[in-house]
Structure 1
Amino acid sequence: MIFTETKLKGAYIIDIKPMEDERGFFSRGYCQQEFKEHQLSIQVAQTNFSFNKKKGTLRGMHLQSAPFEETKLVRCTSGAIYDVIVDMREGSTTYKQWISVELTGHSYRMLYVPEGFAHGFITLKDDTDVTYQVSQFYTPGFEKGYRWDDPAFSIEWPVQPSVISLKDQEHPLLMMEV
């Protein structure tokens, strides 16, 4: 696997190294040893699937708070997403900064999301599937969210959202958080 650290310390884009032959290819999608070599850890507690019917479906910006902070390994298995993470670690030199990466079913690219990052995405195609491996169980009462259009982040989304859950629409702006 090829690990590329982003400008947000601890967040990585991970590409596969396919071994090709006449049948197609074979590659690892996860290797505990390789993750450990990059000081990354993901003890998988849960694997989540997201099916999104329509292009423009927005999910986010989500995270779980202490003591149930989670790392995520995100991959689009069909379709395409514009995946965004925001560093919400107070005291971090990149606090409130964000990055994006396009993940598609054909690229096999993944995004490693460290603890303390808000995560969200918008679909770029109809019928898009996303898989998340997460290090913590979902814990009601410890989930947090921020508005996708929060001026504190100024995320540049490539398309206007057409489908957003009521819960995601009602996330607070960062400056309004108590």
Structure 2
Amino acid sequence: MNRFTATSLSLAGLYLIQRQKLGDSRGFLTRLFCVEELRTVGWINSIAQLNHTLTIKRGTLRGLHFQHPPHGEMKLVSCLRGEVWDVAVDLRKGSPTFLQWHAEILSEENNRAMLIPRGFAHGFQTLSDNVEMLYCHTEAYRASFEGGVNFHDKKLEISWPLEVTELSPRDQNLPMLEDRFEGLVI
């Protein structure tokens, strides 16, 4: 029985995953991850790392983050509590959608996730207070391969839905894309 419906989005390899909730008077069950079902949309590794975040204030922005090759990662990003505007940016060298972005609202209500391929930057803005996110990663975090793009980069022109109320010093200081940036080789 398939518990996910995968919808291909505007950027190649990026998918919206709709989870099926099974419920009755006791509550519900939702499958958060299934390698067999996600393999059909490109998930080829096991989960190397699982992260859970809490973001307290509405309007907070996290991102845009990625890992440089050869430690580029695929992510399955889910919102367990609250609501976020989740953004993926194509940084793949030679991609027909290079430097384009796509955003989806993820929430505990809509039971959706975004499957983000290697070579993409990822970030989100909270649309409610007390947001909890769950990330499945195909690669373990490696600080020396960490990368990021400034959320205000003019080359991307991301239209964030709210005024940014909180931003970490790290994310404030992420670089703008340089004119000579040709993309990530994945």
TM-score > 0.5, shorter chain as reference:
yes
Deviation at 1:117, TM superposition (A): 0.2
Report the more deviating stretch, 40-49 or 21-30.
Answer: 21-30
Q: Given that residues 13 and 41 in structure 2 are in contact (C-alpha distance below 8 angstroms), is that contact kept between their aligned partners in structure 1?
A: no
Q: Please list every run of 5 or more consecutive structure 2 residues that lacks an aligned counterpart in the other structure.
A: 182-186
Alpha-carbon distance between aligned partners in 1 of 2:63 and 2:167, rounded to the nearest angstrom: 9
Q: Given that residues 88 and 120 in structure 2 are in contact (C-alpha distance below 8 angstroms), is that contact kept between their aligned partners in structure 1?
A: yes
**Aligned equivalent of 2:169:** 166
**Aligned equivalent of 2:65:** 62
Deviation at 1:177, TM superposition (A): 7.0
Q: TM-score, normalised by structure 1?
A: 0.94
Alpha-carbon distance between aligned partners in 2 of 1:177 and 1:46, rounded to the nearest angstrom: 32
Deviation at 1:37, TM superposition (A): 2.4
- Equivalent AA in structure 2 for residue 98 of structure 1: W
Deviation at 1:97, TM superposition (A): 0.3
Per-residue CA shift, 1:9-58, capped at 9, x if unaligned?
11100001233434344342222211122333342111111111101110
Query: Of residues 131, 134, 144 in structure 1, which corresponds to 2:134?
Result: 131
Q: Please list every run of 5 or more consecutive structure 1 residues that lacks an aligned counterpart in the other structure.
A: none
Deviation at 1:83, TM superposition (A): 0.4
Per-residue CA shift, 1:115-162, capped at 9, x if unaligned?
000000010111111111111111011100101010111001100111
Q: Given that residues 43 and 74 in structure 2 are in contact (C-alpha distance below 8 angstroms), is that contact kept between their aligned partners in structure 1?
A: no
**Aligned equivalent of 2:152:** 149
**Aligned equivalent of 1:89:** 92
Alpha-carbon distance between aligned partners in 2 of 1:148 and 1:42, rounded to the nearest angstrom: 29
**1:65-80 counterparts in 2 under 5 A?**
65-80=68-83
Alpha-carbon distance between aligned partners in 1 of 2:49 and 2:39, rounded to the nearest angstrom: 20
Please give the secondary structure, in 2, of the residue aligned with 1:36: helix
**Aligned equivalent of 2:121:** 118
Q: Given that residues 80 and 125 in structure 1 are in contact (C-alpha distance below 8 angstroms), is that contact kept between their aligned partners in structure 2?
A: yes
Aligned pairs, number: 178
The answer to whether residue 33 in structure 2 is matched with residue 30 in structure 1 is yes
Name the Cα RMSD after superposition.
1.5
